Chains A and B, each alone.
Chain A
C-alpha cells in the first residue's frame, strides 16, 4: 500500500505537470476555439522560445527578466505574422492543421540547424531547488510555473469574459457576419489573439527550458496529451483547459504512483475518448 506521503507527492507532481500542459495548450485552445485555427506550430514556438532562453540565459548570461521581456513581443509578432499568412491565403480549419504541421517541421529543422540535434541543458539552481513542507518536497521552479499558469489562465479568462475585445472575439467566433454588422473587425482581432497565443507559447518555452533538457524532436513529445487537455477543457475556454490539464496531470501521476508507470500515457487518451463519447460536441 503506497504511503500518504507518496500519494501527496505524486498529486503535487501531477498538478505541476498539468500546469505545464495548460500553459502549453492555452494558445492552441484560444486559436482553435476563437479563430478555428488548429495551430500545431504552437509546439514549435514553445521549443523555439525554449532554445532562445537556453541561448540567451544559459549560454550568453543575459538577465532572465530581459529575455522574457524580449521573447514575449517577439513571439507576439510571430503569431501575428502567422495569422496574416492564414488570412492572406484563406487557410481553413483543416488546412491550418496541415500548414502548421509543415511549419513545425521547418522550425524543428531550423532549431537543429542552429543548435544541432545534441541535447541542451540550461543549468540553473532553480531547476532542482525544492522547499520541504512537512514530508512533502515542493519544487520551486514548478511552483513558479503553477503561479504563472494560474495568472495567465485567469487573465485570459477575464479578458475574454469581461473586456470589449474578449466579447467581440467570442461574438466573432460564434457568428462572424452578425459580429461584423456590429462593427467587430474579425481580421484585427484575429491578429491580436494570434499574437497573444504565440506569446503564451513563449512563456511556456521558458519553463520547458528551465524544467528539463531539450532536444529538437521533443516538441512532439507533449503534443498528444496537450491536445487531449485542450479538447477536454473545451475549445477557447481557459479555465476548462486548466481544469482538464490538472485532472490529466494528477490522473497520470496517480497511475504512476499506484500501478505501473507505463500505464500513465493511456490515462489522458482514455479520458479524452470517454469525454468525446459522452460529449461529441466538444470539438
Chain B
C-alpha cells in the first residue's frame, strides 16, 4: 500500500468520522424534552383567514428550526390553541398555557384585541410575549412585550405621511380626499391619524364616514363615495370590507381614483378584477428585494407550496406571512443569543439588540419597545401585490400606477 493510498484512506476515515460526529451532533441537537412555545391564533371566526396564514407559517418555521438544532439543542413544540377570533377567549387560553400547560415561552396571537389580552396574562406571570400585529403601539405598556410588527411608535402619523409622500413624488398630490373607515379599533385609529395628516397637508376632506365592523350592505356608502368623487379614497378596512366596497362601487359604475385599503385580505383584493391598482401598506412582499436573501427566497418558495396544499387561494407570501415568520425568528434569536429560556433575560436581550428578520433588522428599544417604522406602500398589479414605495423596495421595472 502506497503512502498515497494510506493518506487517501486516512482522509476518508477522518471525513467519515467527522460526518458521523456531525450527524450525531445533529441528532443530539434536537434531543431531550421539547421547548414548548404556547400561543393562540384565530383559527375560526372572522379573523380566521389571516389566522390560517399565521398557522401555516408557524408550522413551516417549526419544521425548519427543528431540522437545525431546535432551541438550545432541544426540539421545539408549538402548543397552539384556537381563540376563535375572540379577545376574551384569548385571555383565558393564555392563562391556561401558562398555568396548566406550563409552556416555556409565549408567542402572540393575531390581531390587536387578542394580543392585548395575551399581554395582560403575560404581564401577570412575568412572561416574555413576542407578538406580531399589534396595530396600536401606544397600548403596549408591558416591558417584556416585543412587537415584531415594525410600524414604528406613531404609525397613525407615519403611514399616512409615507402614503401622501408617495402620491406627491408621483405628481398626484390629491386636492380632495374621501375617508371611509371601519370602527374596528386598530383600523379606526389609523384612519383618524390619516385624517389629521391630510388636514395638516391642506388636503380638503370631501367625505368622512364610519361604519361598523361586519357591515354587509355597502350600497349607500358607495353612493356617498361616488357623490363625493374625491381625488383620493382612503378605505379604513380590514378583511373583506375592501372587496365588498369595491363591488358596491362597481355596481354604480364608479371606479374610485387611487383607492387605498388599510388592512385588506390580500388574496381576494389582489385577485378581484376590481382590485387593479388598489394601494395598501406592507412590510414584505414576495418579490425582490425582499426575497434577495436565501432564507427569504426559501421561505417564499416553501410558503407557496404549503399555501397551495392548504387550499389558500393567494399563494404569495405577503406581509402577514412574513410578520408571523419574523416573530419566530425573533424568539429564536433571543434564545440562541442568551442560551436561556428565562423570560427576563430574553426580554432584556431583545431590548438591547437588533434582530435580523425577513422584515429587516428590527429593534425593540423605543417607546413601547417599538422600533423603526418600516411600512411601505404596495399596489395590486397584474393580480399580485407589488411594493411601489419607497422606490428602493419596488421590484425592477415596477412603477406606481396612479390616476
- Contact B247–A264 (Cβ < 8 Å): no
Does chain A have a CB within 8 A of B221? yes
Min Cβ gap A106→B in Å is 12
- Contact A6–B227 (Cβ < 8 Å): yes
A residues less than 8 Å from B336 (CB atoms): none
CA distance A122 to B301 in the complex (A): 27
CA distance A137 to B227 in the complex (A): 13
Q: How many A-B residue pairs have CB under 8 A?
A: 138
Tell me whether A118 and B223 are in contact in the complex, defined as CB-CB below 8 angstroms, given that A108-B44, A139-B251, A261-B215 are known contacts. no
CA distance A192 to B106 in the complex (A): 53
User: Whose C-beta in chain A lies nearest to the C-beta of B311?
Assistant: A116
User: Whose C-beta in chain B lies nearest to the C-beta of A125?
Assistant: B273
Does chain A have a CB within 8 A of B257? no
Does chain A have a CB within 8 A of B18? no
Among A121-163, those with CB < 8 Å from B are: 121, 123, 127-130, 132, 137, 139
Interface segment among B48-56, B65-73, B167-175, B394-402: the answer is B48-56
Tell me whether A212 and B252 are in contact in the complex, defined as CB-CB below 8 angstroms, given that A9-B220, A262-B212 are known contacts. no
Tell me whether A13 and B244 are in contact in the complex, defined as CB-CB below 8 angstroms, given that A128-B274, A221-B214, A262-B183 are known contacts. no
The one of B221, B250, B310 that contacts A116, using a Cβ cutoff of 8 Å: B310
A residues less than 8 Å from B183 (CB atoms): 262
- Tell which of B219, B251, B267, B268 has the most Cβ of chain A within 10 Å: B219
- Contact B223–A10 (Cβ < 8 Å): yes
Among B37-89, those with CB < 8 Å from A are: 43-46, 48-49, 51-52, 85
Does chain A have a CB within 8 A of B392? no
Does chain A have a CB within 8 A of B272? yes
CA distance A222 to B250 in the complex (A): 23
Does chain B have a CB within 8 A of A216? yes
Chain A contacts to B: CB under 8 angstroms: 2-3, 5-6, 9-10, 12-14, 16-17, 108-109, 112, 115-121, 123, 127-130, 132, 137, 139, 212-213, 215-218, 221-222, 249, 252-254, 256-257, 260-262, 264-265
Chain B contacts to A: CB under 8 angstroms: 43-46, 48-49, 51-52, 85, 183, 209-212, 214-217, 219-221, 223-224, 227, 239-240, 243-244, 247, 250-253, 265, 267-268, 271-274, 310-313
